[in-house]
Structure 1
Amino acid sequence: MKFKFPLHIHLSTLFIVMTLVISGVIAGVGYQMSYDMLETSAQDLTQRASREIAGEINGIIGPANTTVELLSYHRLAYAETLEERMASFNVLQPTLNNASGMTSIFIGYASGDYLFLHRISSEEERIRYRAPAGSYYQLRSIERSNGNGEAKYIYLDADMQVLGEEVHPEYAAGFDPRQRGWYQSAMAANGTVTTKPYLFFSVGQVGLTVAQRSQDGHAVIAVDIPLLSLGAVLQRQKVTPSSQLTLVSADGNVVAYEDLKRLIATPTTANTPPALKNLKDFGIPPLAGLAGSITKNMDPEGISRSVEIDGEDWRVSVLPIPLEGAESLYLMTAIPKGELFATALKIRSTSILVTLLIILIAIPLIWLVSRFISKSIRVLANEAESIRRFKFDEPIRLRSSITEVNSLAETMDVMKNTIRKFISITHAVAAETDFEKLLPMLLNETIAAGGAQSGALYLVDGDKLLPCTAVSCVGEEVSRSLQTLRMDALPALLRTALDRQQAQDDMMNADEIEAAGLNALCEKADAAWMVAVPLFNRQHELLGLMLLKRKTRIDATQLAFVGALSDSASSSMETRGLIHEQKALFEAFIQLIAGAIDAKSPYTGGHCARVPELTKMLARAACIQDSGPYADFDLSKDEWEAVHVAAWLHDCGKVTTPEYVVDKATKLETIYDRIHEVRMRFEVLKRDAEIDCLRAIASGENKDIAEGKLAEKLRELDEEFAFIATCNEGGEFMAPERVERLQKIAERTWLRTLDDALGISYEEKRRKSGTPVTPLPVTESLLADKPEHLFERRAQDKIAADNKWNFRMKVPELLYNRGEVYNLSVSRGTLSEEERYKINEHMIQTVIMLSQLPFPRHLRHVPEIAGGHHEKMNGTGYPKMLKKEDMSPVARMMAIADIFEALTAADRPYKKGKTLSEALKIMSFMSKDQHIDDELFELFLRSGVYMEYAQCYMAAEQIDEVDINTYLDKPVVEAAA
């Protein structure tokens, strides 16, 4: 869920955030500029260092190239002895003394001889060489004329005078110039060559060697260029105290560093010659990973990156330094960013502190300003909350110096007033459920909302507009004084409103008012301002039109409001109309079903139509009681509707009851009365008796005796058939002796010579399939209970004990049993147990059918009311065996109405209607036996409902004298007659 805060918090936050953002941007820009400036400065310093180093080295290499090139032509290159070679020192001395950076000149001969002249540049160096005091030069010579080689160290002063001499045979043994790289490279080249930086064999220093082959190709003249001074150059170019700068060769060996002692690697064994340290082993972690970045095709601008070592960020870079005639060297720098950008970070911190100070000063001012600005908004927010809570009592009186806020306040005030009016009208319209009363209400509310003096409401009827309701200037109903308007001859204003489907206003002159028959709306026959408001439903179909008469022209705001109100009016009219139509349709369906049930069988007559009337009579009598058990009984309009629906549908389940069961007048009747089959069998027996008589006479028996026997036989058969016919009528109780006689008669037999499976239905053949086929002719019992008479009950016709409707009726095992003996043996009436259940089952079907209907809330008790009129107060009724306390009063009323109507109905073909006294007497017994509600029966009598019904629905001859005091515990003063 998003957090919500007041406007002054948002404004304060906005100003603070803007201050923070602006200050942050300034601080950020300042920091970035400082960062970029320091970054550029570091790059410039690195570039300058590379240029200085390149200049320094190239400044030495150039003269060195000239020197070796000149000496390649000198006789020194051809001298064969030490004396001859020393005689040429007058050429070497000025070269060593004047050429900066060159400390040694040496010559390697093809014979293996070697001459090395080195200028001792410091006292420290003299001591290291153990040279005599005053030594200025050291001469090293190897001569191999004798085959073994003779090596000498000669020390000379500044005038080239010998100060001392040492013999070093190990030097000759361990050093052969012809094996050195500078010698071999020069011999292979046509001009001067410059070696990679390496550790000089003779003096143990790091440097380069420039060499050239002599003209005759028998010697190589070389000059050593030490790189000792580059360490000082690197020291000078350090950007920060902790910066690290190294000069690295292409193979990754460090050739220059501020600390010269770290350049040489410690030999691992005594025989291992000293060597330069590789960058990976040099002990500068930020630069250790850059060795792999050195390539021949490296960008002249070099590469730079940031690395993190032990939590510290470093700026590292590699910059190639091209050399004249030699491989490039590479300047590597590592600068800690914390030191490099210290100034930028200080600027940023200062900016942040200044920003915080500004914010601390600005917060109170911003808070006060935002509170002032938001005050009016808070007032409007409270007003909006009042509107949200539908509180429209007080107008909005806010005045603000802010134009937009002031305009919003005025608009909200108008909106508040408009909504108040609209809701008031909507509530009034919604509360009116009577469609006939709704239309005048809609018109009056619209007249008031539109500031009109009079108006009329027309409804569409085909191609006409019929005046439904109208109000004059003095408030009188004048719709009858208005004329019908034809759609093809409407005034221009009304036609425009219908075409545009929105409210329109215009002036109508006296002629137009007269032509439209609107004089009743106007005080006098004169021009008037009229507002035409069309009413359309959701399908944009025209429902009608309102016409309002005003003294002045309506403004745009009122016109818009009237237009919106018309939409609400159209919806209300459409909704009420739909409800009215649906109720009418529902009522038609109810009466259609009830009528269909009554028409289905003449045995029910008009039962479904009369029971509702009698039920409502009794309910009305209960409602007006001011004493007794029903003094507090009353029914609302919705409850009356539920009574009406339930009463009309109380027997709707009978649509599922087979007609022949409902109409069964005899025991053997199904679709037809099977007594005719039995009569035919007796006819067969009688024919058989006559045939037997004739056969006996033909056989010689006395004719009188034979005919006497025949007459007796026929009389017996006629009597037995008459007995069976009497049993079939069901008018007499079947005592055991009658059942026994019936069974004895059934044992008679007759001869069937035709197949009884011919010409019958598939279903009957299926039922006969369980009976073995007997060859014809077959002797049949006169009456029989055969397997094909049994109809099995399907699963869907059974009711579980735990059914959701709580039915508690005993369900017979069979759906039907049409056995002839079985049906004729029914003790009372004409219905078998299965058929009696089928009749009673209509109550089950009524409840099920009604429970499946989506009744609205106010009709939810319809299934209970309709389904309880066969229940008894003592709990022995059906289908749920409810007791009095389990039933609603209306359901108990309907039980009385159902019984009274059935007893008194005179339109049943199977019985004569009871008289009033007979019916009440029977019902008094039922009241005492707790079959019906005794309190309601007493109300039925005391209120005179029985007589009110009798006078409306009973024949005159049925209405006899009745003394109701006979059936009352407390007699009334006047008994109803």
Structure 2
Amino acid sequence: MAGDRNLHKLLNTIVNSFVELCACDGGSIFTLRKGLDGKDVLVFENMVTRSIKIEEVPEHLVNLRFTLDEDTLVSRTAKTRLPQRANFNPAAGAEARVDHVLNYATYNMMSAPLITPRGDLVGVVQLVNKLPYPSRPSAGTTPDFDQRDERMFNIVAAQAALAIENSLLLEEQERLLDGFVNACVTAIEERDPVTSGHSTRVSDYTVALGDAISRTETGPLKGVYFTPTQLREIRYAAMLHDIGKISVKEDVLNKEKKLHGWQLEVIRMRLKLMRSNLKLRQQATKEDLTEISRKLDNAWKMITDANEPNVLPAAVNSALQDLSSIEVEIEDGEVLTALTKEEGFKLSIQKGSLTTDERLEIERHVTNTFQILKMVPWSRGLELVPEIAYRHHEKLDGTGYPCKCPAADIPVQSRLLTITDIYDALTADDRPYKRAMPTERALDILGMEVKHGKLDSDCFKVFVEARIFEVCQKHKKAHLKAA
């Protein structure tokens, strides 16, 4: 019992052990938990019977809960911390409701507490319908539970309670870690609301892909298997793969176009002032300034077009350079230039919205992620979370970042994460600066990356054949239906 880390399996083992030890037909187990109001509550966990086969515990029983103050046998057992024995003819109350659900008949019961060696109550076991002793004259009837059964129960009760306590503690630690990870993701998305939901979707895709690979029976990935703990490790790495973005400046992180709105407004006001002064100058000096006026009149549309994060045509780039050379003198000899050197440089970005320095700052989020995750004392089985997240922008041909490492240094978990991260970035419909790409087009782009030796071909094949890309579509439809 002490070696079982899975709570459900452990509780099933414990109930079966007590049923065998005390020679009865069946049993159930409750664990002591904290309710939403902070009060102790007994939660139904599992049950077994010899006489009827229970494929799945009915929903009515799954949600069964009792406070310690209720007038039930299980509540009295927990409150007094003493074994309780009862005979039913017929069963009534909670026992009768359970019998009705299962089409069962409870004749007698022993309810006993599970108390650790330190004296902490962790749950209650209820055993039902004592079986006849073949060697006794009363064989063939239903005998009662007696003190001998209590003594047999107590032989292993403390050990069982300790095993449950350890398993519950592990479960609480996992919930705590889950809460911490979710809180981190929320913090990331608060700083970068444009990509809200990205980490969760990528996590869902990556875990589903890992699970599909574990079930692969042919090809190069046959024999690659991820344990539940390893899938949890993958999930955490995928959830936290962008946590390093918390150290990226907000105006860079949320930069949708080449220039920010306030920068465009400065240019607009400058052009307006230049046109006004040019008009006054022309009236005063009678100079022919028609060509300069025409360029200033056309400047605003060209600037706003160039500000979009699209591929910049060579003609527009040349026109921007020309615009940067236009100067107009205003009062007191001050000279205004249509575009400053910095503005012209940013508007001349060939593709996207980021300068080289800004892109490097964004790319540093991967190293920041690694440094942050390395500070967490990950428990056994989760040690690779930092490494998996660290490699998610690396490519098999060595062209990725931040390390440009070769394929041999990229773990398979990171290869999965790379595929799912790119897919979601292409298809996400929550980014205001671009339209969501259709699935077919996104798969074509990923396929080209595979063809060029950048992505893992075997992992991508499973991604397509197992239709992993439908995972979040199903979740979204279910959410919309529920709403």
Q: Do they fold alike, i.e. is TM over 0.5?
A: yes
Check 1:638–1:552 CA distance in 2 against 1; reply closer, same or farther (3 A cut).
closer
1:746 Cα deviation after fit: 2.9
Say if 2:262 is the partner of 1:695.
Answer: no
**Secondary structure in structure 2 of the residue aligned to 1:839:** helix
**What is the RMSD computed on CA atoms of the aligned residues?**
4.0
8 Å CA contact 1:494–1:532 kept in 2: the answer is: no
After superposition, give the CA deviation of every residue in 1:729-755 in whole Å (9 maximum; x if it has no partner). Answer: 3434374x86565445334445688xx
Higher RCO (CA 8 Å, separation ≥ 6 residues)? 2
Quick check: 1:448 aligned with 2:26? no
| CA shift for structure 1 position 892 | 1.3
SS at match of 2:147: coil
Match for residue 271 of structure 2 among 668, 682, 689: 682
Q: Secondary structure at the match of 2:112?
A: strand
Kindly tell me: are residues 865 and 750 of structure 1, through their superposed partners in 2, closer, same or farther at Cα, counting changes over 3 Å?
same
* TM-score normalized with structure 2 length: 0.77
Task: Provide closer, same or farther for how the CA distance between residues 879 and 484 of structure 1 changes in structure 2, counting only shifts above 3 A.
Answer: closer
Q: Quick one: distance in 1 between partners of 2:48 and 2:79?
A: 22
Cα distance in 1 for residues equivalent to 2:229 and 2:77: 43
- Could you list the per-position Cα deviations for residues 341-397 of structure 1 after superposition, in whole angstroms to 9, with x for gaps in the alignment? xxxxxxxxxxxxxxxxxxxxxxxxxxxxxxxxxxxxxxxxxxxxxxxxxxxxxxxxx
Alpha-carbon separation, structure 2, partners of 1:496 and 1:540 = 15
Unaligned runs of 5+ in 1: 1-428, 754-775, 786-818, 956-977
Superposed displacement of residue 930, structure 1 = 1.8
SS in 2 for 1:693: helix
How far, CA to CA, are the matches of 2:428 and 2:377 in structure 1?
A: 33
> Deviation at 1:713?
4.1
Distance (Å, rounded) in 1 between the aligned partners of 2:204 and 2:289: 62
- 1:891 matched to 2:480: no
Alignment of 1:654-733 (within 5 A): 654-669=245-260, 672-696=261-285, 709=288, 712-733=291-312
Distance in structure 2 (CA, Å) of the matches to 1:603 and 1:492? 55
CA contact (8 A) 1:904 1:954 kept: no
Q: Residues 104-142 of structure 1: CA distance to partner in whole angstroms, max 9, x if unpaired?
A: xxxxxxxxxxxxxxxxxxxxxxxxxxxxxxxxxxxxxxx
1:871 and 1:886 mapped to 2: Cα distance? 9
Tell me what 2:135 maps to: none
CA distance change for structure 1 residues 475 and 742 in 2, over 3 Å: closer, same or farther? closer
Provide the residue aligned with 2:140 in structure 1. Answer: none
Give the whole-Å Cα distance in 1 for the aligned partners of 2:106 and 2:204.
Answer: 53
Q: Distance in 2 between matches of 1:473 and 1:618?
A: 39
Is 1:945 the counterpart of 2:450? The answer is no
Q: Say if 2:480 is the partner of 1:924.
A: no
Q: Is the 8 A contact 1:597 1:608 kept in 2?
A: no
For 2:65 and 2:386, the matched residues in 1 are separated by 47
C-alpha distance in 2 between matches for 1:954 and 1:515? 42
Match of 2:339 among 754, 762, 783: 783
CA positional deviation for 1:685? 0.7
Q: Does 1:436 align with 2:436?
A: no
Counterparts of 1:79-478 in structure 2, within 5 Å, are: 429-450=1-22, 454-460=26-32, 462=39, 465=42, 468-470=45-47, 474=51
How far is the alpha carbon of 1:836 from its aligned partner?
A: 0.4
TM superposition shift of 1:884: 1.3
Partner of 2:352: 829
What displacement does 1:516 show? 7.1
1:878 to 401, 413, 419: 401
Q: Aligned runs of 1:751-790 on 2, under 5 Å?
A: 778-785=334-341
1:12-64 Cα offsets, whole Å, 9 max, x none, are: xxxxxxxxxxxxxxxxxxxxxxxxxxxxxxxxxxxxxxxxxxxxxxxxxxxxx
Q: 1:859 to 1:559 in 2, by over 3 A?
A: same
Deviation of residue 860 (structure 1)? 1.3
Aligned to 1:15: none
Mark the CA change 1:680 to 1:881 in structure 2 (over 3 Å): closer, same or farther: same
Amino acid at match of 1:667: K
SS in 2 for 1:430: coil
Aligned match for 2:324, one of 725, 742, 746: 746
Aligned residue in 2 for 1:847: 370
Distance 1:712 1:845, change over 3 A: same
User: Retained in 1: the 8 A contact 2:205–2:469?
Assistant: no
Given that 1:906 and 1:954 are in contact with CA atoms closer than 8 Å, whether structure 2 keeps it comes out as: no
Aligned counterpart, 1:533: 112
Mapped to 1, the partners of 2:40 and 2:475 lie a distance apart of 45
CA displacement 1:205-246 (0-9 Å, x = unmatched): xxxxxxxxxxxxxxxxxxxxxxxxxxxxxxxxxxxxxxxxxx
Kindly indicate which of the two structures has a greater share of residues assigned to strand. Answer: 1
Number of aligned residue pairs: give it.
450
TM-score by length of structure 1 reads 0.41
SS of match in other structure, 1:729: coil
**CA positional deviation for 1:621:** 3.8
Alpha-carbon offset, residue 569 of structure 1: 2.4
Residue of structure 2 in register with 1:554 after alignment? 147
SS of 2:351's equivalent in the other structure is coil
d(CA) in 2 for partners of 1:902, 1:516 = 53
The whole-number CA distance in structure 1 between the counterparts of 2:66 and 2:206 is 47
CA distance in 2 between counterparts of 1:940 and 1:851 reads 29
Rounded to whole Å, the distance in 1 between the matches of 2:297 and 2:30 is: 81
The structure that is helix-richer by fraction is 2
Contact in 2 for aligned 1:459/1:467 (Cα 8 Å): yes
Question: Identity over aligned residues, as a percent?
Answer: 27
Q: Quote how far apart the aligned CAs of 1:828 are.
A: 2.9
Q: Per-residue deviation at 1:853?
A: 1.4
Distance, in Å, in 2 between the alignment partners of 1:906 and 1:485 is 45
1:900 to 2:472 alignment: no
Instruction: Tell which deviates more after alignment, 626-635 or 588-597.
Output: 588-597
The worse-fitting range, judged by mean Cα deviation, of 429-438 and 868-877 is 429-438
Q: Partners in 2 of 1:823 and 1:496 — Cα distance?
A: 74
Q: Does 1:579 align with 2:170?
A: yes
